[in-house]
Amino acid sequence: MRDLAASLARWTARGWRRRLRTRTSPPGPEVVLDGRRLLAFCTNDYLGLAGHPALVRALCEGAQRYGTGSSAAHLLGGHTEAHARLEAALAEFVGFPRARLFATGYAANLALVSMLAERGEPVYHDRLNHASLLDGTALARARVVRYAHADADDLARRLDANPAHAPLVVTDGVFSMDGDLAPLPALARVVREHGGALLVDDAHGLGVLGPQGRGSLAQAGVGPGEVQALVGTLGKAFGTAGAFVAGDETLVDGLVHFGRPWIYSTAPPPALAHATLQALALVRAGEEARRRLFERVHQFRRGARELGLPLAPSETPIQPLLVGDAQRAQALSAALLEAGIWVPAIRPPTVPEGTARLRITLSAAHTREQVDRLLEALARAWAAHPAPEEA
Ligand SMILES: *Cc1c(COP(=O)(O)O)cnc(C)c1O
């Protein structure tokens, strides 16, 4: 058995100790955390829906109609009319024939990738793919082959070097720690040329990008016919919780037979599915929120550029500031916290060694003044904690 205390001591020594904070307020730009009121730039509540009164009402109404729990796994009586209606609506929304609901995006990725990957065979991953996609590969005892980040040519070289029947290629749509986009048209072309299948995890694109918030594929003009499966999560822009896998009839039927994390888990509460149907309506009609959101993104980028901050090439609400050194990232985050602003430092092993960063996320709920406050605090923190070579 692992010596857990020794592992924890090693991580502490490396400066990788994680700290859990407790929020006592509703979600939103201003939160109360460990008893302190803070301005938060760390959530994935991109459209500001997580505390929306219409969703709170829908959740209560759902609970009155269906109760609190689903009472069983989907196959054993836990699958309700609310789940079925949401699955149909989500499939229609993203333009795929069918969709299957999951309690979390982590479980959706685990089920999807482990179902399609074959033992001992390679699964091609973007180097910055989400941990759940890698874990799905491990669950299938398949082999992770990483291609260079957002590099379809590197993927093509690796596929050429290892000709296989129907290779499986997996990518985030929007990269969760970098905010940049996968080159979906190029990836789809390479995968098609090699007779493979492409899986896209659009956790951060859904609700945010494309017409009506239909996501990265819609924005890139890549049709459902070019992608084997799409994963969307509901705990981010949708403001509720859970996830879905969209695909064709065979793929979604496959999950019922081979998607172990779906089969062996209690169905999510039907009340939540009921509320998420309402969230879908708000997302579809959310052009004004998306316009506000991208106004904030541009305001932040303009301001950060003027301050000479190390902006990343991201046009999404995920705006990391690359710091490099983990301790400095930590010090910057602490200085911001001192100023009443919550921006987490993301360090290895969550991101590659030497790429520690402040991960700033923006929401349609942030005001112009709040983004100004962030920029002012960043300018002060940066001056107070210069990089070693500038010190
Ligand atoms: C958040 C996230 C997930 C996991 O979704 P949950 O619903 O939070 O479990 C999967 N993939 C990516 C890219 C994510 O950012």
Token pair 């210069």 is at which residue? 386
pLDDT at 130 over 90: yes
Measured CA to CA, the distance from residue 347 to residue 357 in angstroms comes to 7
CB 230 within 8 A of CB 248: no
User: Is residue 240 in contact with ligand 1, taking CB distance under 6 Å?
Assistant: no
CB 33 within 8 A of CB 47: no
3-state percent helix, strand, coil for the chain, nearest multiple of 5: 45, 15, 40
**Probe residue for ligand 1, chosen from 44, 90, 104, 132 as the CB with the greatest number of ligand atoms within 8 Å:** 132
Atom of ligand 1 nearest to the CA of 174: 13
Average pLDDT value for the chain: 96
pLDDT at 367 over 90: yes
The average pLDDT across 130-136 equals 97
User: Is residue 135 in contact with ligand 1, taking CB distance under 6 Å?
Assistant: no
pLDDT at 260: 96
pLDDT tens across 70-101, in order?
Answer: 999 999 999 999 999 999 999 999 999 999 99
User: Is residue 129 in contact with ligand 1, taking CB distance under 6 Å?
Assistant: no
CB 99 within 8 A of CB 288: no
CATH tag for 18-47+287-384 (out of 3.40.50.1110, 3.10.450.50, 3.90.1150.10, 3.40.1160.10): 3.90.1150.10
User: Is residue 171 in contact with ligand 1, taking CB distance under 6 Å?
Assistant: no
Share of the chain above pLDDT 70, in %: 99
The average pLDDT across 174-191 equals 98
pLDDT at 22 over 70: yes
Residue range(s) of every CATH 3.40.640.10 domain in the chain: 53-284
pLDDT tens across 44-75, in order?
Answer: 999 999 999 999 999 999 999 999 999 999 99
CATH number for the domain formed by residue range(s) 53-284: 3.40.640.10
pLDDT at 16 over 90: no
pLDDT at 388 over 90: no
Residue range(s) of every CATH 3.90.1150.10 domain in the chain: 18-47+287-384
When pLDDT is cut at 50, 70 and 90, the band that residue 389 belongs to is low
pLDDT at 154 over 80: yes
Tokens standing for residue 308: 């000479």
Active site residues: 176, 204, 236
